[in-house]
Structure 1
Amino acid sequence: MLQLFAHPFSSYCQKVLTALYDNDTAFEFRMLGPDAPDVFGELTSHWPIGKFPLLLDDGRPIIEASIIVEHLALHHPGPVRLIPEDPKQALEVRFWDRFFDNYVATPQQKFVIDALTPEGSRDPYGVERAGAMLDTAYAHLDRHMLGREWVAGTNFSLADCSAAPQLFYADWTHPLGDRFPAVTAYRERLMARPSFARCIEDARPYRPLFPLGAPDRD
Protein backbone atom coordinates (compact mmCIF):
# COMPACT_ATOMS: atom_id res chain seq x y z
CA MET A 1 0.00 0.00 0.00
CA LEU A 2 1.21 3.47 -0.87
CA GLN A 3 1.34 5.92 2.03
CA LEU A 4 1.05 9.67 1.50
CA PHE A 5 2.19 12.02 4.26
CA ALA A 6 0.22 15.17 3.59
CA HIS A 7 -2.24 17.81 4.73
CA PRO A 8 -5.43 18.44 2.71
CA PHE A 9 -5.06 22.26 2.77
CA SER A 10 -1.56 22.25 1.22
CA SER A 11 -1.44 23.16 -2.47
CA TYR A 12 1.51 20.85 -3.14
CA CYS A 13 -0.26 17.99 -1.40
CA GLN A 14 -3.32 18.70 -3.52
CA LYS A 15 -1.21 18.34 -6.66
CA VAL A 16 -0.41 14.76 -5.67
CA LEU A 17 -3.90 14.03 -4.36
CA THR A 18 -5.42 15.17 -7.66
CA ALA A 19 -3.16 12.71 -9.50
CA LEU A 20 -4.05 9.89 -7.10
CA TYR A 21 -7.78 10.59 -7.25
CA ASP A 22 -7.81 11.01 -11.03
CA ASN A 23 -6.50 7.45 -11.47
CA ASP A 24 -8.37 6.02 -8.47
CA THR A 25 -5.01 4.88 -7.06
CA ALA A 26 -5.29 3.17 -3.67
CA PHE A 27 -3.21 4.75 -0.88
CA GLU A 28 -3.18 5.38 2.86
CA PHE A 29 -3.48 9.03 3.87
CA ARG A 30 -1.04 9.82 6.70
CA MET A 31 -2.53 13.03 8.05
CA LEU A 32 -0.03 15.63 9.23
CA GLY A 33 -1.02 18.11 11.91
CA PRO A 34 -0.56 19.20 15.53
CA ASP A 35 -2.68 16.27 16.72
CA ALA A 36 -0.36 13.73 15.07
CA PRO A 37 3.23 14.52 16.09
CA ASP A 38 4.16 10.87 15.62
CA VAL A 39 3.21 11.08 11.93
CA PHE A 40 5.44 14.13 11.45
CA GLY A 41 8.20 12.33 13.32
CA GLU A 42 7.90 9.44 10.90
CA LEU A 43 8.01 11.88 7.99
CA THR A 44 11.23 13.48 9.24
CA SER A 45 12.79 10.07 9.79
CA HIS A 46 12.56 9.65 6.02
CA TRP A 47 13.17 13.28 5.06
CA PRO A 48 14.91 15.45 7.68
CA ILE A 49 14.00 18.63 5.78
CA GLY A 50 10.44 17.97 6.96
CA LYS A 51 8.69 19.26 3.83
CA PHE A 52 5.63 17.49 2.49
CA PRO A 53 4.04 15.74 0.68
CA LEU A 54 6.09 12.58 0.93
CA LEU A 55 5.10 9.24 -0.58
CA LEU A 56 6.22 5.90 0.82
CA ASP A 57 6.20 3.15 -1.78
CA ASP A 58 7.08 -0.19 -0.20
CA GLY A 59 9.13 1.69 2.38
CA ARG A 60 10.96 3.83 -0.18
CA PRO A 61 10.46 7.59 0.30
CA ILE A 62 9.57 9.63 -2.78
CA ILE A 63 10.01 13.36 -2.17
CA GLU A 64 8.70 16.52 -3.90
CA ALA A 65 5.21 16.74 -5.39
CA SER A 66 6.16 16.71 -9.08
CA ILE A 67 8.55 13.79 -8.56
CA ILE A 68 5.81 11.89 -6.73
CA VAL A 69 3.43 12.31 -9.69
CA GLU A 70 6.21 11.23 -12.07
CA HIS A 71 6.83 8.18 -9.85
CA LEU A 72 3.14 7.29 -9.89
CA ALA A 73 3.07 7.55 -13.67
CA LEU A 74 6.04 5.18 -13.93
CA HIS A 75 5.25 2.64 -11.23
CA HIS A 76 1.50 2.90 -10.63
CA PRO A 77 0.00 4.00 -13.96
CA GLY A 78 -3.72 4.33 -14.34
CA PRO A 79 -6.11 5.07 -17.20
CA VAL A 80 -5.23 8.80 -17.14
CA ARG A 81 -1.71 9.23 -18.53
CA LEU A 82 -0.43 12.26 -16.61
CA ILE A 83 2.97 12.24 -18.36
CA PRO A 84 2.66 11.85 -22.14
CA GLU A 85 4.55 9.01 -23.76
CA ASP A 86 5.88 11.31 -26.48
CA PRO A 87 9.03 13.00 -25.07
CA LYS A 88 8.32 16.35 -26.74
CA GLN A 89 4.81 16.46 -25.32
CA ALA A 90 6.16 15.35 -21.95
CA LEU A 91 8.63 18.25 -21.99
CA GLU A 92 5.77 20.71 -22.52
CA VAL A 93 3.90 19.18 -19.57
CA ARG A 94 6.97 19.51 -17.36
CA PHE A 95 7.48 23.13 -18.41
CA TRP A 96 3.96 24.11 -17.40
CA ASP A 97 4.31 22.22 -14.14
CA ARG A 98 7.37 24.35 -13.35
CA PHE A 99 5.54 27.48 -14.52
CA PHE A 100 2.80 27.06 -11.92
CA ASP A 101 5.23 26.23 -9.12
CA ASN A 102 7.72 29.01 -9.86
CA TYR A 103 5.62 31.87 -11.25
CA VAL A 104 2.25 31.36 -9.57
CA ALA A 105 2.86 29.48 -6.30
CA THR A 106 6.07 31.28 -5.33
CA PRO A 107 4.75 34.88 -5.62
CA GLN A 108 1.43 33.79 -4.09
CA GLN A 109 3.29 32.44 -1.06
CA LYS A 110 5.03 35.81 -0.65
CA PHE A 111 1.64 37.34 0.21
CA VAL A 112 0.92 34.57 2.70
CA ILE A 113 4.33 34.69 4.38
CA ASP A 114 4.12 38.47 4.66
CA ALA A 115 0.71 38.21 6.32
CA LEU A 116 2.21 35.84 8.89
CA THR A 117 5.17 38.17 9.56
CA PRO A 118 5.06 40.62 12.50
CA GLU A 119 3.91 44.02 11.28
CA GLY A 120 7.22 45.78 11.85
CA SER A 121 9.11 43.21 9.77
CA ARG A 122 6.83 43.01 6.75
CA ASP A 123 8.03 43.58 3.19
CA PRO A 124 5.54 45.73 1.25
CA TYR A 125 7.93 46.18 -1.65
CA GLY A 126 8.39 42.41 -1.92
CA VAL A 127 4.62 41.93 -1.89
CA GLU A 128 4.23 44.56 -4.62
CA ARG A 129 6.79 42.73 -6.76
CA ALA A 130 5.03 39.42 -6.12
CA GLY A 131 1.76 40.95 -7.32
CA ALA A 132 3.46 42.19 -10.47
CA MET A 133 4.86 38.71 -11.09
CA LEU A 134 1.41 37.18 -10.70
CA ASP A 135 -0.07 39.70 -13.14
CA THR A 136 2.65 38.83 -15.67
CA ALA A 137 2.05 35.10 -15.19
CA TYR A 138 -1.73 35.53 -15.46
CA ALA A 139 -1.36 37.53 -18.69
CA HIS A 140 0.98 34.95 -20.26
CA LEU A 141 -1.31 32.10 -19.27
CA ASP A 142 -4.40 33.98 -20.50
CA ARG A 143 -2.90 34.27 -23.99
CA HIS A 144 -1.84 30.62 -23.94
CA MET A 145 -5.24 29.28 -22.84
CA LEU A 146 -7.27 30.88 -25.64
CA GLY A 147 -9.06 28.03 -27.40
CA ARG A 148 -7.54 25.38 -25.10
CA GLU A 149 -9.16 23.05 -22.57
CA TRP A 150 -6.02 21.92 -20.73
CA VAL A 151 -2.71 23.71 -20.44
CA ALA A 152 -0.39 21.23 -22.22
CA GLY A 153 -1.56 19.21 -25.19
CA THR A 154 -5.15 18.03 -25.39
CA ASN A 155 -5.34 15.83 -22.29
CA PHE A 156 -5.37 16.41 -18.53
CA SER A 157 -1.82 15.99 -17.22
CA LEU A 158 0.68 16.67 -14.44
CA ALA A 159 0.64 20.31 -15.57
CA ASP A 160 -3.07 20.58 -14.76
CA CYS A 161 -2.55 18.80 -11.42
CA SER A 162 -0.10 21.61 -10.66
CA ALA A 163 -2.30 24.39 -12.03
CA ALA A 164 -5.42 23.45 -10.06
CA PRO A 165 -4.32 24.23 -6.49
CA GLN A 166 -1.94 27.03 -7.43
CA LEU A 167 -4.56 28.99 -9.39
CA PHE A 168 -7.17 28.18 -6.76
CA TYR A 169 -5.18 29.85 -3.97
CA ALA A 170 -3.59 32.55 -6.14
CA ASP A 171 -7.03 33.89 -7.03
CA TRP A 172 -7.79 34.16 -3.32
CA THR A 173 -4.57 36.08 -2.75
CA HIS A 174 -4.31 38.25 -5.88
CA PRO A 175 -7.71 37.99 -7.60
CA LEU A 176 -7.99 37.43 -11.33
CA GLY A 177 -11.11 39.58 -11.46
CA ASP A 178 -12.38 40.24 -14.99
CA ARG A 179 -8.91 40.86 -16.41
CA PHE A 180 -7.99 37.32 -17.50
CA PRO A 181 -11.14 35.54 -18.73
CA ALA A 182 -9.32 32.55 -20.26
CA VAL A 183 -7.51 31.88 -16.97
CA THR A 184 -10.74 32.27 -15.01
CA ALA A 185 -12.50 29.78 -17.30
CA TYR A 186 -9.57 27.36 -16.97
CA ARG A 187 -9.65 27.66 -13.18
CA GLU A 188 -13.38 26.87 -13.24
CA ARG A 189 -12.77 23.76 -15.37
CA LEU A 190 -10.10 22.61 -12.94
CA MET A 191 -12.44 23.13 -9.99
CA ALA A 192 -15.11 21.06 -11.74
CA ARG A 193 -12.73 18.13 -12.33
CA PRO A 194 -13.92 15.46 -9.86
CA SER A 195 -10.41 14.72 -8.59
CA PHE A 196 -9.67 18.35 -7.71
CA ALA A 197 -13.24 19.03 -6.57
CA ARG A 198 -12.63 16.33 -3.97
CA CYS A 199 -9.49 18.15 -2.83
CA ILE A 200 -11.47 21.37 -2.45
CA GLU A 201 -14.11 19.69 -0.30
CA ASP A 202 -11.57 17.80 1.83
CA ALA A 203 -9.76 21.08 2.53
CA ARG A 204 -12.87 23.16 3.26
CA PRO A 205 -12.74 22.66 7.08
CA TYR A 206 -9.26 24.21 7.16
CA ARG A 207 -10.10 27.50 5.46
CA PRO A 208 -9.83 29.47 8.75
CA LEU A 209 -6.09 28.68 8.59
CA PHE A 210 -5.66 30.89 5.51
CA PRO A 211 -3.96 34.00 6.95
CA LEU A 212 -5.39 36.41 4.37
CA GLY A 213 -8.94 35.23 4.99
CA ALA A 214 -10.59 32.72 2.69
CA PRO A 215 -13.27 34.29 0.48
CA ASP A 216 -16.87 33.12 0.70
CA ARG A 217 -16.83 31.98 -2.94
CA ASP A 218 -15.39 28.67 -4.19
Structure 2
Amino acid sequence: MRKFPLLLDGDRQVVETSIIIEYLQLAHPGAVRLLPDDPESALHVRFMDRCFDLHVMSPVQAAVGGALTGDATKRDDMRAFAAQKLEMAYGWLEGELAGRTWAAGDEFTLADCAAAPSLFYADWTHPIGDDYPLLRAYRSRLLARPSFARTVEEARAFRPLFPLGAPDRD
Protein backbone atom coordinates (compact mmCIF):
# COMPACT_ATOMS: atom_id res chain seq x y z
CA MET A 1 0.00 0.00 0.00
CA ARG A 2 3.08 2.21 0.15
CA LYS A 3 2.11 3.50 3.59
CA PHE A 4 4.29 4.81 6.36
CA PRO A 5 4.77 3.66 9.03
CA LEU A 6 5.05 0.00 8.23
CA LEU A 7 5.89 -2.73 10.72
CA LEU A 8 7.32 -5.98 9.43
CA ASP A 9 6.94 -8.84 11.89
CA GLY A 10 8.12 -11.98 10.17
CA ASP A 11 5.92 -12.30 7.08
CA ARG A 12 3.25 -10.01 8.50
CA GLN A 13 2.97 -6.39 7.34
CA VAL A 14 1.13 -4.02 9.66
CA VAL A 15 0.34 -0.44 8.61
CA GLU A 16 -1.25 2.56 10.34
CA THR A 17 0.20 3.73 13.62
CA SER A 18 -2.79 2.91 15.81
CA ILE A 19 -3.04 -0.59 14.38
CA ILE A 20 0.70 -1.14 14.82
CA ILE A 21 0.44 -0.18 18.49
CA GLU A 22 -2.52 -2.50 19.04
CA TYR A 23 -0.79 -5.30 17.16
CA LEU A 24 2.37 -4.95 19.25
CA GLN A 25 0.34 -5.05 22.46
CA LEU A 26 -1.28 -8.31 21.30
CA ALA A 27 1.68 -10.01 19.65
CA HIS A 28 4.56 -8.69 21.75
CA PRO A 29 3.17 -7.36 25.04
CA GLY A 30 5.55 -5.29 27.09
CA ALA A 31 5.52 -3.51 30.42
CA VAL A 32 3.56 -0.52 29.09
CA ARG A 33 -0.04 -1.17 28.10
CA LEU A 34 -1.25 1.48 25.69
CA LEU A 35 -4.80 0.10 25.54
CA PRO A 36 -6.69 -0.74 28.72
CA ASP A 37 -8.08 -4.23 29.14
CA ASP A 38 -11.51 -2.87 30.05
CA PRO A 39 -13.48 -2.68 26.75
CA GLU A 40 -15.25 0.60 27.56
CA SER A 41 -12.02 2.27 28.63
CA ALA A 42 -10.31 0.93 25.51
CA LEU A 43 -13.14 2.34 23.39
CA HIS A 44 -12.63 5.78 24.93
CA VAL A 45 -8.87 5.58 24.25
CA ARG A 46 -9.56 4.68 20.60
CA PHE A 47 -12.07 7.54 20.36
CA MET A 48 -9.49 10.03 21.63
CA ASP A 49 -6.90 8.59 19.24
CA ARG A 50 -9.29 9.21 16.33
CA CYS A 51 -10.06 12.74 17.59
CA PHE A 52 -6.41 13.70 17.51
CA ASP A 53 -5.90 12.18 14.08
CA LEU A 54 -9.08 13.49 12.48
CA HIS A 55 -9.67 16.82 14.20
CA VAL A 56 -6.15 17.99 14.99
CA MET A 57 -3.74 16.35 12.54
CA SER A 58 -6.04 16.49 9.50
CA PRO A 59 -6.34 20.31 9.56
CA VAL A 60 -2.56 20.54 9.98
CA GLN A 61 -2.11 18.29 6.95
CA ALA A 62 -4.54 20.47 4.97
CA ALA A 63 -2.49 23.57 5.78
CA VAL A 64 0.75 21.80 4.88
CA GLY A 65 -0.82 20.57 1.63
CA GLY A 66 -1.85 24.13 0.77
CA ALA A 67 1.68 25.34 1.40
CA LEU A 68 3.17 22.60 -0.74
CA THR A 69 1.17 23.72 -3.79
CA GLY A 70 3.37 26.81 -4.08
CA ASP A 71 0.22 28.88 -4.63
CA ALA A 72 0.05 31.73 -2.07
CA THR A 73 -3.75 31.89 -2.20
CA LYS A 74 -4.13 28.16 -1.58
CA ARG A 75 -1.57 28.38 1.21
CA ASP A 76 -3.48 31.20 2.92
CA ASP A 77 -6.89 29.61 2.37
CA MET A 78 -5.82 26.25 3.77
CA ARG A 79 -4.07 27.86 6.73
CA ALA A 80 -7.27 29.80 7.51
CA PHE A 81 -9.28 26.58 7.19
CA ALA A 82 -6.86 24.84 9.56
CA ALA A 83 -7.04 27.69 12.07
CA GLN A 84 -10.83 27.49 12.14
CA LYS A 85 -10.86 23.71 12.59
CA LEU A 86 -8.06 23.76 15.15
CA GLU A 87 -9.79 26.44 17.24
CA MET A 88 -12.85 24.19 17.36
CA ALA A 89 -10.73 21.18 18.34
CA TYR A 90 -8.77 23.17 20.94
CA GLY A 91 -11.99 24.32 22.58
CA TRP A 92 -13.39 20.80 22.70
CA LEU A 93 -10.12 19.35 24.01
CA GLU A 94 -9.88 22.01 26.72
CA GLY A 95 -13.14 20.72 28.18
CA GLU A 96 -12.29 17.08 27.59
CA LEU A 97 -8.93 17.28 29.39
CA ALA A 98 -10.37 18.75 32.59
CA GLY A 99 -9.36 16.56 35.53
CA ARG A 100 -7.08 14.35 33.43
CA THR A 101 -3.33 13.93 33.33
CA TRP A 102 -3.40 12.25 29.93
CA ALA A 103 -5.88 12.25 27.05
CA ALA A 104 -8.03 9.42 28.36
CA GLY A 105 -7.32 9.57 32.10
CA ASP A 106 -4.43 8.97 34.47
CA GLU A 107 -2.46 6.55 32.30
CA PHE A 108 -0.47 7.26 29.13
CA THR A 109 -2.22 5.45 26.27
CA LEU A 110 -2.56 5.05 22.53
CA ALA A 111 -4.49 8.34 22.53
CA ASP A 112 -1.43 10.18 23.82
CA CYS A 113 0.68 8.59 21.08
CA ALA A 114 -1.66 10.26 18.57
CA ALA A 115 -1.81 13.50 20.52
CA ALA A 116 1.95 14.10 20.73
CA PRO A 117 2.75 14.70 17.05
CA SER A 118 -0.70 16.15 16.36
CA LEU A 119 -0.45 18.85 19.00
CA PHE A 120 3.23 19.43 18.30
CA TYR A 121 2.55 20.45 14.70
CA ALA A 122 -0.89 21.93 15.37
CA ASP A 123 0.67 24.50 17.68
CA TRP A 124 3.14 25.40 14.93
CA THR A 125 0.28 25.71 12.42
CA HIS A 126 -2.13 27.64 14.65
CA PRO A 127 -0.73 28.35 18.14
CA ILE A 128 -2.67 27.02 21.09
CA GLY A 129 -3.80 30.25 22.74
CA ASP A 130 -3.94 31.32 26.35
CA ASP A 131 -7.66 30.47 26.39
CA TYR A 132 -6.64 26.80 26.52
CA PRO A 133 -4.41 26.40 29.61
CA LEU A 134 -5.25 22.71 30.11
CA LEU A 135 -4.42 21.89 26.49
CA ARG A 136 -1.17 23.90 26.67
CA ALA A 137 -0.18 22.09 29.88
CA TYR A 138 -1.03 18.73 28.32
CA ARG A 139 1.12 19.52 25.28
CA SER A 140 3.95 20.44 27.67
CA ARG A 141 3.59 17.11 29.49
CA LEU A 142 3.80 15.30 26.17
CA LEU A 143 6.94 17.23 25.21
CA ALA A 144 8.50 16.34 28.57
CA ARG A 145 8.09 12.58 28.11
CA PRO A 146 11.59 11.21 27.49
CA SER A 147 10.70 9.26 24.34
CA PHE A 148 8.95 12.24 22.74
CA ALA A 149 11.59 14.73 23.91
CA ARG A 150 14.26 12.54 22.31
CA THR A 151 12.31 12.35 19.05
CA VAL A 152 11.84 16.12 18.96
CA GLU A 153 15.52 16.69 19.61
CA GLU A 154 16.69 14.17 17.01
CA ALA A 155 14.45 15.79 14.38
CA ARG A 156 15.59 19.36 15.14
CA ALA A 157 17.84 19.47 12.05
CA PHE A 158 14.82 18.87 9.81
CA ARG A 159 12.72 21.79 11.08
CA PRO A 160 13.52 24.04 8.13
CA LEU A 161 11.70 21.52 5.93
CA PHE A 162 8.32 22.15 7.62
CA PRO A 163 6.42 23.93 4.83
CA LEU A 164 4.69 26.42 7.12
CA GLY A 165 7.87 27.47 8.88
CA ALA A 166 9.00 26.16 12.23
CA PRO A 167 8.91 28.44 15.26
CA ASP A 168 12.08 28.89 17.29
CA ARG A 169 10.78 26.96 20.32
CA ASP A 170 10.04 23.46 21.54
The normalised TM-score by structure 2 is 0.94
Identity percentage of aligned residues: 57
The within-5 A match list for 1:122-133 is 122=74, 124-133=76-85
- Who is 2:134 aligned against? 182
SS at match of 1:214: coil
- Who is 2:53 aligned against? 101
1:167-218: CA deviation from partner (whole Å, max 9, x where unpaired) = 0010001101212111000000000011111211121111111011111100
Ranked by relative contact order (alpha carbons within 8 Å, sequence separation 6 or more), the top structure is 1
SS at match of 1:56: strand
Q: How much has 1:126 moved relative to structure 2?
A: 4.3
- Who is 2:94 aligned against? 142
Is the alpha carbon distance of 1:57 and 1:134 closer, same or farther for their aligned partners in structure 2, counting shifts above 3 Å? same
> What amino acid does structure 2 have at the position aligned with 1:158?
L
Partner Cα distance (1:166, 1:124) in 2: 20
Partner Cα distance (1:119, 1:127) in 2: 12
- Who is 2:146 aligned against? 194
Is the alpha carbon distance of 1:91 and 1:106 closer, same or farther for their aligned partners in structure 2, counting shifts above 3 Å? same
> What amino acid does structure 1 have at the position aligned with 2:134?
A
The within-5 A match list for 1:1-218 is 49-119=1-71, 122=74, 124-218=76-170
Q: How much has 1:120 moved relative to structure 2?
A: 6.3
Is the alpha carbon distance of 1:99 and 1:119 closer, same or farther for their aligned partners in structure 2, counting shifts above 3 Å? same
The normalised TM-score by structure 1 is 0.74
1:62-87: CA deviation from partner (whole Å, max 9, x where unpaired) = 01111001111111111111010000
RMSD between superposed Cα atoms in Å: 1.4
SS at match of 2:14: strand
List runs of 5+ in structure 2 lacking aligned partners.
none
Contact 1:97–1:163 at 8 Å: present in 2 too? yes
1:3-34: CA deviation from partner (whole Å, max 9, x where unpaired) = xxxxxxxxxxxxxxxxxxxxxxxxxxxxxxxx
